[in-house]
Amino acid sequence: MLKTEMPSSQHLQLDQYPVPELVAALVDDQFDAVQAVRNAAPRIARAVEAAVPRIEAGGRLIYVGAGTSGRLGVLDSVELYPTFSWPHERAVALLAGGESAMFVAVEGAEDDHEQGARDLDGVRPTANDVVLALAASGATPYVLGALAAARAAGALTIGIANNTGSPVAEGAEIGITLDTGSEIISGSTRLKAGTSQKIVLNTLSSAIMVRLHKVYGNLMVDLKPTNAKLFARAVRLTVHATGADEARARAVLEQCGFHVKVAIVALQRQVPVQQAGKLLEQAQGSVRGALGA
């Protein structure tokens, strides 16, 4: 039996716990997710190093999963645009059962190996693409079908699973095994198995974006303001990075369409925003490079 499916030997009377003890048990169990990701850190680092050159060459991040794993892939893909101005078309999420499965479980969809391959082939994978195959069990047929199609296309494949020796991890070019063990509620991999996958996806995509110069210091300087909160954040980030007062920062941001990178370079180098944009372009989008730092 898969570890993720085995009944836990702890908290055998979970249904009889008082609420404070029940909450504490559920929260404390999540620490195993963090430890599992820590143990996999070398593999995660290898995945980032392998992915960056392909993404720099124009490749896409393609997420594939079913159920909780698939929904976590969708979540990571859609958040890259507001956080890093990453183009929608370069973060593609494939979910067993299609878009409707994001909200309502589509029974049996995860068991269709051929559909996984068809869905992956449908997005026309290339050798520069990076395919993130997610499955808590590590044996989901839909994901394995997509994984095989991705490998046939020459894409970089990264398999993320929660059971050791799983076909998803073993069949990918780089396998990341998050050994979270049995769940406190037996078989419910939406718990710490899902948490561990969320941490890995956050880490992978964020590390890639850092390497693509979407971050200056520890500031997210390539965000895409789409609401009042993000416009205010853009001003704060510019003020923090340059020491300019809020009025000056806002004025320069307005001149460059609230592109924080451009505003920082313009203020620090004391040049017009058009010149700041050219300096960034020459530095491949690196604020440090544009500043000559």
Torsion of Cα atoms, 238 then 242 then 243 then 249, to 10°: -40
What six digits make up the tokens of 3?
A: 């570890």
Angle subtended at Cα 24 by Cα 22 and Cα 30, rounded to the nearest 5 degrees = 110
Residues marked as catalytic: 79, 110
DSSP letters spanning the chain: --GGGSPPSS-TTGGGS-HHHHHHHHHHHTHHHHHHHHHTHHHHHHHHHHHHHHHHTT--EEEEESHHHHHHHHHHHHHHHHHH---GGGEEEEETT-GGGGTS--TTGGG-HHHHHHHHHHT---TT-EEEEEESSS--HHHHHHHHHHHHTT-EEEEEESSTT-HHHHHSSEEEE----S-SSTT-TTTHHHHHHHHHHHHHHHHHHHHTT-EETTEETT----SHHHHHHHHHHHHHHH---HHHHHHHHHHTTT-HHHHHHHHHHT--HHHHHHHHHHTTT-HHHHHT-
**Distance of alpha carbon 257 from the chain centroid:** 26
